[in-house]
Structure 1
């Protein structure tokens, strides 16, 4: 359970309690090659403790923990600190005492390795110390003198190197000390930890105790600027981010280094609000004032971005000796000079680019600058050591909190579903949620339902989120961002909006840019990512739903030279890219299947080097391809409606996505019977039958197979005869499942004759194995061994490893029927090895379960446990069905 404990510690300290399998492997097995199965096994162990609701199945290589509110001491601590932020001093002190009581151990993540958890442990320790210092501040303001004396003594003994702890210790004990004792204490601290004057707050405390005038890095006769605006809205869900950024500023200030924090993110995500609140938190640390400028980078078509020189004029006016400089370079140098020996906080809001910001930055010293922009401003990295931070969308609970206080009181069973629907439809976007909160002020619950209905209509959504009279409009905010793009970037954004989503890989995006488009599509994509209009996450590109809606419905499709049919052309290009790339992967999964996809029509095709890579590509692309099939159906593009589901079905079988397979193949059958050749239609029916077969709906499978046989007989070419052989063989397997062994053998032998005539060795082996299975059913074990042994010999001479695994399985069953357990076990393990390599999870799990039965019967329970642990991992990979059955059996055997 040690690894499970480490996984819990990793998840609970990760943003949104989620990690990729790669991150988990890196922390739990540093420096080692770690197969995914190892991660799934540890996740399964932790799930057994926490339950499926808290730790659901891993999806798309991501592990997410759904922690109930207040279920973990760290979360209760953080919630207590958050509640304390806006309380009056006595209440704040009491709240912080309650929050810190959750921290039972001063050493966070105790027992987890320093190598991989050291950074997180340090972050948690800083979080603890920030709360402790806030508690001491609250105690001082609330008059809790006795408590303050006791606690400062305790913490000073533990952490004398921390200047804030030393400062509070001096406040609590310094006035009672003799002057000589006080001076020796200060001298001792400076000898060990540096001069007190390095920390303005600490120096102020020392000066007061020495009864000398308060010192400042500027002159005490001048006016100290204080230009920071107050935030208009509460920063829901941003407490952790603000604490993180404040910690960066404090650390750099204490090291006497300048601070540059760059906040980027999409329009309306709340960058300015975070900057304002961060400025308020940090203001007292900068005794020489606070400067602010709205750079108007994205203020609208009629408003030009602020000129840096004019901003410099305003800043220098606060420092009269320097206000006479002329020219932008001289003024920028004057600002650096005036701030060199001062500690000033500067907020530069809504910057458009690096050129606008760079002249406004101080040089050396302990001043801090907070910049907000929709662009990432990565160019500021040269020589400035900036701390770049993207402001993300809100988490679901914080997003709901914006709405909850506005929705009319009533039955929670009616309110909460509406809130969840609104949060989803707004995409957890702060500006959108703020607009909805305004609209909720005058609506009943019934009226809120109508609001949900309107938001579900993509064409109506931006109109609902538009309140220009209150300067609240998602449409206007996005218009400013898109207006600033180059024509090539706007064209690519429109095409990405037509793409079905939810995400696209690099090659898919590059295929959206037609040949000859200038500049190149990769440059346009870089521009969109830098502008926070396209998000890059886990090597895939995606649009927020609001950006997609704006690009589809608010931008003229004929602007910038885009042809009238750009949407249809884009859809066809997307689907052509999907078809050829899925087919390339399918050829790795099923080398024998031939689909009439033709040559790539100028699209990029990634050829996976092996089966594992093909499956990994389809894991990433699956959701997008499913939406592509739906898009093709809506647009009536028949080529893709039937070929995409056919190219995808082998993968769906291997991953047990059978319901999706049935939906896609049902559409494919309707189209194929109108446009495809008889043998191709027969193949669609076989795939439908194979899907029903895996759901154990054998009667429905047989119906499709009889239809496949009839269709195959219409084509007397080699292709038609091969289709007939496949259909007869699959029908035989199904008839056996229905208990008709005689008819099954007849169809197997017909298929065998056809396979031999066509020279199809894999088909010949499969038919022989089917005949051997029927011998086994009748107790004719010697005949069964001969047929299946011949099938195995033939299969091993082909590239069809799955056929060999089937023959091994049948041979093992015959040996079990003859009570030859050891030989059966040897054959089963060979078959499992093949199925593991092929990632045929369902069949591998079935054979491993049988292995466990044989091992238990032989008294080899530890080996049975090992086999069942692998079964548990495989069932987790397939969606977590029937995992409790495995856990129960493991519990019995352990």
Structure 2
């Protein structure tokens, strides 16, 4: 069986087309085929299939869609196992050879072409890759909104392939063919400098110096009129060389010269993605909205939450999924706002970013405001994603915000960063612990679905003991996997005790410890807030109020409310309904351990 997603969604078997019936079922299969082997949770699929507005009956419809797809594919597959749709708790994945899916063949051919040294070979591979395209991804079953959310990066890769093909053709063939192709592409993408650079060079090689110059002026006028920008220094230099009739532009290497003329250093600084990332459907949808909001101002999202809740994992995972949408680069920095090391000043980050963007070290301004101005100028008009991880304060972040609406920024912090929300228009997205079903799915991914199914009750109890905190779940899974001869039920029984925080740690890795994650948030508090945090950890019952906190402090309710707001801002305490506060299970145990550090054993008896 062959699966075609580059254009109308089609499935072929023995040279004939397979009728999969309804549009939504074909779209569902296509979504799974875009990421073979990856588990897509039901909530995520519902959100995608109904463009963010699934009906109340959506889950039942999704299950029926899956069942019908399985039955239809089984008929044509003939039991050969060419494709299987698997169920993983509350999600689904597809098992298929990627070579049977055109999008993955396209990406493989593009990679091979990049590695090929011979221009004729490279051009042949690129033509084979581009020949797989018959229109926008799944044009007959995806809405424009859905395609923008999940498949926009494939169009960017197609444009990259077209650019590399023109470059290879300039190295290997007559310039007239490149002129024809690049004229069409520059008409569709009039502000894309790399296409214009190739068109200018092709015109010059074909003996049309005047038309090469006209192509440059069309781009210059478009940039000035629409973005208020000038062409890049590299493209302007290429134009000067054409006016001088530089003979090197008539050599076989001119394609590389043209491509590099409009190409600046492209940073790709994202850390490695989390291979077994699970859940967070709503949060991923909110981040996807960064791409579709249509705002003329720079769009920034701040992920806030307690230590170990998975803010960095979510930001990096989402960034990897959309990095093809930012062909001018991705910048990343760990600001160390909550760390055993000192926070990184914004000035130091600006220096790093400017160097990553191609600025020589001696040209980086020493003055912080000048450096920030240069940074914003370099990002103007470019599609760059900036990830500012582990921020402590708004002042640490502000100089790093671009001014161009073509850029996007994601910030993570344990603080709410209220100042950025109020003054800079940052959208805040607060992460809580995982829902129980997503926690169970994550355990299935980490431990293996067979083990979780075999000891289901123990797995459910393990999720509860970990408080559904992703860091705790991952540590627990790593510890359990390291002891394959020990049953999950035995491991859970040993974990269920007063030493749970000590047990949730990986030896010789200080970052893989729940207590260490909490320590960083606690150490950032002033003494008075630390004292209140310890006291509320001893309060009996599931929650407490402002008067209870005031009694614990022997102070006024105004003072208690102010300190509670700081604890809520640090994501150590949650105000789950107005006036009522609670602690995450593991944080409650941690707070109780800290209770006696700031006064003479004050505890819950103070409330009486």
**TM-score, normalization by structure 2:** 0.61
CA distance in 2 between partners of 1:75 and 1:158 (Å): 11
C-alpha contact 1:152 1:169 (8 A) present in aligned 2: no
**1:281 is aligned to 2:317:** no
1:673-727 Cα offsets, whole Å, 9 max, x none, are xxxxxxxxxxxxxxxxxxxxxxxxxxxxxxxxxxxxxxxxxxxxxxxxxxxxxxx
Pairing 1:496-511 to 2, within 5 Å after superposition: 496-511=536-551
Query: Once the 2 structures are TM-superposed, how far is the Cα of residue 361 of structure 1 from its aligned partner?
Result: 1.6
C-alpha contact 2:543 2:583 (8 A) present in aligned 1: yes
Kindly tell me: are residues 185 and 477 of structure 1, through their superposed partners in 2, closer, same or farther at Cα, counting changes over 3 Å?
Answer: closer
Q: What is the aligned partner in structure 2 of residue 465 from structure 1?
A: 504
**1:227 is aligned to 2:235:** no
SS at 1:422's partner residue? helix
Q: What is the aligned partner in structure 2 of residue 149 from structure 1?
A: 134
SS at 1:257's partner residue? coil
**1:242 is aligned to 2:284:** yes
CA distance in 1 between partners of 2:553 and 2:335 (Å): 33
SS at 1:472's partner residue? coil
Pairing 1:158-557 to 2, within 5 Å after superposition: 196=189, 219=234, 220-245=262-287, 247-252=288-293, 255-300=295-340, 303-318=341-356, 319-320=358-359, 323-405=363-445, 407=447, 414-444=454-484, 446-457=486-497, 459-470=498-509, 471-515=511-555, 520-539=559-578, 540-553=580-593, 555=594, 557=595
Query: Once the 2 structures are TM-superposed, how far is the Cα of residue 265 of structure 1 from its aligned partner?
Result: 0.7
Query: Once the 2 structures are TM-superposed, how far is the Cα of residue 495 of structure 1 from its aligned partner?
Result: 1.9
CA distance in 1 between partners of 2:143 and 2:278 (Å): 35
CA distance in 1 between partners of 2:438 and 2:483 (Å): 21
CA distance in 2 between partners of 1:372 and 1:102 (Å): 24
Q: What is the aligned partner in structure 2 of residue 87 from structure 1?
A: 36
SS at 1:87's partner residue? coil
Query: Once the 2 structures are TM-superposed, how far is the Cα of residue 248 of structure 1 from its aligned partner?
Result: 2.3
SS at 1:281's partner residue? helix
C-alpha contact 2:156 2:325 (8 A) present in aligned 1: no
C-alpha contact 2:30 2:138 (8 A) present in aligned 1: no
Query: Once the 2 structures are TM-superposed, how far is the Cα of residue 295 of structure 1 from its aligned partner?
Result: 0.9
CA distance in 2 between partners of 1:268 and 1:103 (Å): 28
1:91-128 Cα offsets, whole Å, 9 max, x none, are 99xx9xxx99999989966899xxxxxxxxxxxxxxxx
C-alpha contact 1:339 1:365 (8 A) present in aligned 2: no
1:648-674 Cα offsets, whole Å, 9 max, x none, are xxxxxxxxxxxxxxxxxxxxxxxxxxx
Query: Once the 2 structures are TM-superposed, how far is the Cα of residue 337 of structure 1 from its aligned partner?
Result: 2.5
C-alpha contact 1:218 1:288 (8 A) present in aligned 2: no
SS at 2:572's partner residue? coil
C-alpha contact 1:421 1:452 (8 A) present in aligned 2: yes
CA distance in 2 between partners of 1:100 and 1:447 (Å): 34
CA distance in 2 between partners of 1:282 and 1:405 (Å): 23
Kindly tell me: are residues 280 and 171 of structure 1, through their superposed partners in 2, closer, same or farther at Cα, counting changes over 3 Å?
Answer: closer
Q: What is the aligned partner in structure 1 of residue 90 from structure 2?
A: none
Larger radius of gyration: 1
Query: Once the 2 structures are TM-superposed, how far is the Cα of residue 445 of structure 1 from its aligned partner?
Result: 6.6
Kindly tell me: are residues 180 and 77 of structure 1, through their superposed partners in 2, closer, same or farther at Cα, counting changes over 3 Å?
Answer: closer
CA distance in 2 between partners of 1:154 and 1:409 (Å): 35
Query: Once the 2 structures are TM-superposed, how far is the Cα of residue 224 of structure 1 from its aligned partner?
Result: 1.7
SS at 1:498's partner residue? coil
CA distance in 1 between partners of 2:49 and 2:419 (Å): 44
Kindly tell me: are residues 149 and 507 of structure 1, through their superposed partners in 2, closer, same or farther at Cα, counting changes over 3 Å?
Answer: same
Q: What is the aligned partner in structure 2 of residue 672 from structure 1?
A: none
SS at 2:537's partner residue? helix
**1:563 is aligned to 2:600:** yes
**TM-score, normalization by structure 1:** 0.43
Pairing 1:722-733 to 2, within 5 Å after superposition: none
Query: Once the 2 structures are TM-superposed, how far is the Cα of residue 364 of structure 1 from its aligned partner?
Result: 3.1
C-alpha contact 1:290 1:344 (8 A) present in aligned 2: yes
Query: Once the 2 structures are TM-superposed, how far is the Cα of residue 454 of structure 1 from its aligned partner?
Result: 3.0
SS at 1:317's partner residue? helix
SS at 1:397's partner residue? helix
Query: Once the 2 structures are TM-superposed, how far is the Cα of residue 558 of structure 1 from its aligned partner?
Result: 3.8
SS at 1:388's partner residue? strand
1:603-654 Cα offsets, whole Å, 9 max, x none, are xxxxxxxxxxxxxxxxxxxxxxxxxxxxxxxxxxxxxxxxxxxxxxxxxxxx
SS at 1:431's partner residue? helix
Query: Once the 2 structures are TM-superposed, how far is the Cα of residue 271 of structure 1 from its aligned partner?
Result: 0.8
| Larger displacement relative to structure 2 (521-530 or 324-333) | 324-333
Higher relative contact order (CA 8 A, sep 6+): 2
Kindly tell me: are residues 355 and 425 of structure 1, through their superposed partners in 2, closer, same or farther at Cα, counting changes over 3 Å?
Answer: same
CA distance in 2 between partners of 1:223 and 1:148 (Å): 29
Pairing 1:592-607 to 2, within 5 Å after superposition: none
Kindly tell me: are residues 85 and 531 of structure 1, through their superposed partners in 2, closer, same or farther at Cα, counting changes over 3 Å?
Answer: farther
Query: Once the 2 structures are TM-superposed, how far is the Cα of residue 208 of structure 1 from its aligned partner?
Result: 8.8
Kindly tell me: are residues 514 and 469 of structure 1, through their superposed partners in 2, closer, same or farther at Cα, counting changes over 3 Å?
Answer: same
CA distance in 2 between partners of 1:169 and 1:290 (Å): 15
Unaligned runs of 5+ in 2: 1-21, 58-100, 109-127, 166-178, 204-214, 220-230, 235-261
SS at 1:417's partner residue? helix
C-alpha contact 2:267 2:330 (8 A) present in aligned 1: yes
Query: Once the 2 structures are TM-superposed, how far is the Cα of residue 149 of structure 1 from its aligned partner?
Result: 3.4
CA distance in 1 between partners of 2:400 and 2:47 (Å): 44
> Of Structure 1 and Structure 2, which has the larger fraction of its residues in strand?
2
Kindly tell me: are residues 272 and 103 of structure 1, through their superposed partners in 2, closer, same or farther at Cα, counting changes over 3 Å?
Answer: closer
CA distance in 1 between partners of 2:384 and 2:266 (Å): 10
C-alpha contact 1:263 1:372 (8 A) present in aligned 2: yes
Kindly tell me: are residues 207 and 160 of structure 1, through their superposed partners in 2, closer, same or farther at Cα, counting changes over 3 Å?
Answer: farther
Unaligned runs of 5+ in 1: 1-72, 113-134, 191-195, 577-894
Task: Tell me how large the CA RMSD over aligned residues is.
Answer: 4.9
Query: Once the 2 structures are TM-superposed, how far is the Cα of residue 331 of structure 1 from its aligned partner?
Result: 2.1
CA distance in 1 between partners of 2:547 and 2:23 (Å): 42
Kindly tell me: are residues 452 and 317 of structure 1, through their superposed partners in 2, closer, same or farther at Cα, counting changes over 3 Å?
Answer: same
